[in-house]
Amino acid sequence: MTILGPRSEGGGDSGSGAHKRRTARSSRFARNLTAAAGALVLVGSLTTVAANASGASTRTSHALSGTLTMNVFTFSTPVLKPVIAAFEKLNPGVKIQAANVVNTPDTYVPLLQTERLAGNEPDIDETYDVLTPTLEVDGLVADLTPDLKAGQPYPQNYWLPTFLASYIPPVGAPFGVGQVFALPNEADATVIMYNENEFQKAGVPFPQNGWTWSEMLADAAKLKVGSGASQSQYGICERPDWQAEYNPVLKAYGVTAFTETTPTLDTPAALKAWALMIDPLLNGDAVPEAQQQAKNGSSGCEPFFESGEAAMSIEVRGNLPGLEQAIGSKFKYNVVPMPSITSVTGKQVIPTGGGSVGWCLAPGQTHNALALAFLKYLFSPAGQAVGEATGGVVPAEAANNGPTAPWRTVAGAPANSQAYVTAADTATIAPQTPGTVFTLSDIDVPAAVTAATTGHESIAKAFTNLQSQMVYAYSLNG
């Protein structure tokens, strides 16, 4: 699984976050989710794959029995099905009933609210980084802190603190400051995926770990083919309206785009950061915004990379299974960490965006022995190995993320596995913001990028307008 942020439909899963123009997985990284008409319920349990537990031959508990209920996002189902099957095989007395649901906030939150009011909210619910504050305030998730203090399913320090922080309200949050409300399923973070065939054809050396943003742009200029209406290939597809790109780049320029109380989107430093990201879309080095919007009704980059129209693309590990399937044997590909930017301090900073989906307990399910047993297995080396075999998981637990981790060598995975480690280590997670800000930013940030690229507005004008819109969004929270 992944989030940086919503996943793209058909061509695989894309990354972390929220609403309409972007597709489900990229939304975890706070991009816009494709709207969907409600929740699709999968009858019975997600247990059609009788996977083994990667060498775990003993039962997790001879005493475990009963029914466990879950809400699982549609894009997570392929990863979780074999994990559920393996857990049930180890525990024949357990039956897991998992509903397969669409993860758009405008359908998923009402679904949980309805289930909560009816008294049948599942024991375990899936969430993602930037959605979780809404669930916290709405009372739809339980505080996991008491269980973690008791070492269940593991102590809190078992998870990488950067990614776990997505599920802990910070100082200034309206509810639950310091409490843990979900557990991250992966350390998903942005990398650059590149088409080796197109690099070789253009005579451009492959990018290396430690490269710079200037080097990336220089490569992109050499990789494009044609110009204007006759341009058939772009050097890169990047996404300035995706928080997993713009938040880390703004941070490198000394700007915090959003906090719990205020936006900063149009200062001189912020405008320099926006220009760095947007200029390639204007000069033909990167896939134009209009084409991103028009492609298959989505503004994601996966279709452009899969087709060979973009020689490079900003991607996350969670997108890999879909990309691998779509690319097949058409060309060879690899990945490299995000290129570094010279920060305001003069140091080189790698602007990596990070995100995750997570698992939470419903209110009243704290100390639920069966739910905690499943989470213990899910996050164990055996459980993570089952998920990693799908190709889309980089664990968010240091114990499962070492040099011999299965995800590094799974069939079809890019050779440069270190790129994903660098990404996890340098990731900037999505900021926690009030609900109205979260909702409106997923609409207004893409609109500002569109205005600056296809709406004939200057970057300064587009983001001055965006600043005003976000100030208003904060005011709605009192």
The reply to whether 6 falls in a domain is no
317 in the same domain as 273:
yes
Residues 333, 205 share a domain: yes
Structure tokens at 167: 């599920």
What is the reported pLDDT for 298?
Answer: 56
Residue 15, classified by CB atoms within 10 Å of its CB into exposed (0-12), middle (13-18) or buried (19+), is: buried
Q: What is the pLDDT of residues 288-333, one digit of tens each?
A: 988 888 875 555 799 999 999 999 999 999 888 889 989 999 999 9
- The CATH code of the domain that includes 177 is 3.40.190.10
Global pTM reads 0.81
Average pLDDT rounded to a whole number, residues 231-239: 95
242 forms bridges with which residues in the sheet? none
Task: List C-alpha distances in Å: 126 to 135, 174, 357, 477.
Answer: 11, 22, 7, 26
In a domain, 150, yes or no: yes
The H or E element containing residue 66 is strand 66-73
Query: Which range (4-8, 185-189, 340-344, 465-469) has the least confidence?
Result: 4-8
Q: Give residue 435's pLDDT.
A: 78
- Residues of the domain holding 285: 189-256+266-354
In this structure, the answer to whether residues 134 and 36 fall within a common structural domain is: yes
DSSP designation for 362: P
Q: Are 105 and 73 in contact (CB under 8 A)?
A: no
Neighbours of 403 (CB within 10 A): 8
Q: Confidence band (pLDDT; 50, 70, 90) for 478? A: low
pLDDT given at position 48: 31
Q: How far is Cα 7 from Cα 300, in angstroms, rounded to an integer?
A: 9
Distance of CA 373 to the CA centre of its chain: 26
Structural domain total, the chain = 3
Closest by CA position to 159, among listed 339, 342, 359: 359
Largest CA distance in the chain: 67
Mean pLDDT for the stretch of residues 9-17: 33
pLDDT band at 4 (very low <50, low <70, confident <90, very high): very low
pLDDT digits (tens, 9 = 90+) for 63-113: 899 999 999 998 888 889 999 999 999 999 999 999 999 877 789 999 999
Indicate whether 39 and 173 sit together in one domain.
Answer: yes
**Same domain flag for 195 and 243:** yes
What average pLDDT score do residues 433-440 get?
84
Whether residue 460 sits in one domain with residue 393: no
Q: Tell me 363's DSSP state.
A: T
b/e map of 151-165 (b: 16 or more CB within 10 Å)? ebbbebebbbebbbb
d(CA 122, CA 351): 37
